[in-house]
Amino acid sequence: MMKTREDIFAQIKTNPKIPVLIIGAGVNGIGTFRDLSLQGVDVLLVDRGDFCSGASAASSHMIHGGIRYLENGEFRLVREAVQERNRLLVNAPHLVKPLSTIIPIFNIFSGLFNAPLKFLGLLDRPAERGAVVIKVGLTLYDFYARQQGTVPKHSIFSKQESIDQFPQINQDVKYTAKYFDGAMLSPERLCLELILDGEQANINSHALNYISAEGARNNSIELHDQLSGKILYVQPQIVINASGPWIDITNQNLGITTKFIGGTKGSHLIIDNPTLRDAIGENEFFFENKDGRIVLIFPLFDKVMIGTSDIPIDNPDQARCSQEEIQYFIDMVRVVFPGIKVDREQIIYQFTGVRPLPENNSSTAGQISRDHSIEIVEGENHNFPILNLIGGKWTSFRAFSEEVSNVTLRYLDKDRLVSTKDLPIGGGKNFPSDEKRLQTWLENQQSIHGLPIEQIKSLFERYGTRAENFIDFVSNGDDTPLEYLSTYSRKEILFIINVEKVLHLDDFLFRRTNLAKLGLLSRNLVEELSVIMSSELDWSEVRRSEEISRTLQILQEFHNVII
Ligand SMILES: Cc1cc2nc3c(=O)[nH]c(=O)nc-3n(C[C@H](O)[C@H](O)[C@H](O)COP(=O)(O)OP(=O)(O)OC[C@H]3O[C@@H](n4cnc5c(N)ncnc54)[C@H](O)[C@@H]3O)c2cc1C
């Protein structure tokens, strides 16, 4: 039986001594939570907001090696990230899919001399890459992935071949390079499934959203429940500060002064432009402007995502997408597809996040290392060590989590029991490996539960093999499609609310589903969902209307959407 939030609070009150407290449930905190739970360590993971609501929700959705980091000499990072990319394609195939990536190349030699100079630290200036540099980079990239063989090798296409494949592409193109990375369809769902896996691995490990770490006193940490205002005290043996761009602020709350983070903000637009969506097909376009800035044009379901910027910022709470960023993204689409007009009215969603990069003095943000590290602060006013998780890419969260776990296990004098390298995640378990097996899986489910095959298929597409649990629940008793979004049924929503730790309306709209991101919200739908949630979570009418206002305010303030 799943423990309720109240059960967990009661347990903490009776026994506040816990081996590990993780502050921050972005992918790094969550990955570490899962890893340690698998080793039999009891962990409490808390986040002041919802799970995966910080940097981890703001990513470019790329599970990638980061080919351009080769130029900064970050060979270790790229090798690790390529290998982790390949693992995610295998371990979470329902949420991470191979992504064909196209680099349009407008010259042959540019960057040829810059790249080695930058590698030697003699050049600080970014520059557009030419064909030769890209070819060398992609060859090395393939080399790192050679043993896992999960994606095809790169190819280079001539001008004519490029124009034949992408008729709308800028006709000045000299070549295109094509290589494969991974597309992450929903970072938020991947995080949630990792949490559920962690809790399943150890019944004494718990993850709580809307709990913030606010202070340290007499060797205990003070936790505030954002919903009830209750205060809890825990006495951890080890604290893992995984609060991403907020790491220094969290330490300050705990009475410790650090300056580990020098964050940069990055924004993205999601646009509804069928001509552009057609022009890119199922390919991401990854393009470097003359000033060295990166632009990506990414197929996100039937929409197009455009990003991203890399701008130093001091206060992560103030990160918003600026008018200049929006204009820059729109202009950049024109560089690759001059005939396609993107209007501001086509923007259906925008989002911004802050990369928790290490404090640095690089002259350009693109050159700050994307690698990860652990900074340990041993206590003066506290007797627990604090492991601060700095930097890192979404892609390599598993490797980073493993490293953090290993350090933690040494502190606890415990051995590693399980490796997470080949461990499937959530609905990636027993995933049908080909079309024939998928068909058998779907037919089996249909014969057991009798739901329409289309509904089973759509549940499988959303939840992988975890769809089995959904199907079981949905097929038991009456169910109806939503009035204002017939692709979801009432019982599917009830299952999410009850099993996936939904506490606010926006948890469901922004993170358990892609509804907000894909511009599917209407006033009627928000109203309809709030009624379902209200009866399930026992909200008063006042609470229900507060939840609607909160959703509308978040939509407007952070995503520039008014419904
Ligand atoms: C614009 C952008 C694009 C990116 N694109 C990619 C990409 O395509 N591919 C890739 O591999 N990587 C990408 N990254 C990098 C990657 O997303 C991040 O490095 C990673 O998600 C960081 O995760 P984290 O867990 O360390 O931090 P976060 O996800 O920020 O998690 C920290 C959590 O701590 C919580 N918190 C803060 N203070 C407290 C407190 N006092 N108490 C409790 N909780 C607290 C916050 O609410 C937050 O949820 C991108 C990052 C950004 C910003």
pLDDT at 287: 86
pLDDT at 129: 64
pLDDT at 411: 97
For residue 301, the 8-state DSSP code is T
What is the SS3 assignment for 86-97?
HHHHHHCCCCEE
Share of the chain above pLDDT 90, in %: 81
| 235-266 confidence digits (pLDDT tens) | 999 999 999 999 999 999 999 999 999 999 99
> Among 35, 45, 48, 284, which is best to mutate for testing ligand 1, by the most ligand atoms less than 8 A from CB?
48
Domains of the chain, with CATH numbers? 5-55+188-261+370-412 (3.50.50.60), 431-559 (1.10.8.870)
- For the CA of 245, the nearest atom of ligand 1: 30
The C-alpha atoms of residue 245 and residue 55 are separated, in whole angstroms, by 8
Is the Cα torsion angle 445, 447, 449, 454 positive or negative in sign?
Answer: positive
pLDDT at 75: 81
pLDDT over 90 at 370, yes or no = no
pLDDT over 90 at 160, yes or no = yes
Alpha carbon of 296 to ligand 1 centroid (Å)? 19
pLDDT at 112: 46
Alpha carbon of 29 to ligand 1 centroid (Å)? 9
The C-alpha atoms of residue 357 and residue 355 are separated, in whole angstroms, by 6
pLDDT band at residue 127 using 50, 70 and 90 as cut-offs = low
Alpha carbon of 356 to ligand 1 centroid (Å)? 7
Mean pLDDT of 109-130: 52
Higher pLDDT, 533 or 217: 533
Task: Name which residue sits closest to atom 4 of ligand 1, judged by CA.
Answer: 59
218 Cβ neighbours under 8 A, 6+ residues apart: none
Higher pLDDT, 140 or 57: 57
| 381-418 confidence digits (pLDDT tens) | 788 999 999 998 999 999 999 999 999 999 999 999 99
pLDDT over 60 at 110, yes or no = no
Query: In one letter, which amino acid is 409?
Result: L
Taking the CB of residue 311, how many other CB atoms lie within 10 A of it?
A: 16
pLDDT at 379: 75
Q: Tell me the helices (H) and strands (E) count for the chain, helix number first.
A: 18, 18
Residues 480 and 489 sit within 8 Å (Cβ to Cβ): yes
What is the SS3 assignment for 487-530?
CCEHHHHHHHHHHCCCCCHHHHHHHHCCCCCCCCCCHHHHHHHH
Chain mean pLDDT for the chain: 92
Task: Name which residue sits closest to atom 42 of ligand 1, judged by CA.
Answer: 212
| Rg value, the chain, Cα | 24
pLDDT over 60 at 114, yes or no = no
For the chain, the first-to-last Cα distance in angstroms comes to 39
| Pocket, ligand 1, Cβ cutoff 6 A | 23-29, 46-49, 53-56, 58-62, 64, 212-213, 242-246, 250, 253, 266, 308, 353-356, 389, 392-395
pLDDT at 281: 98
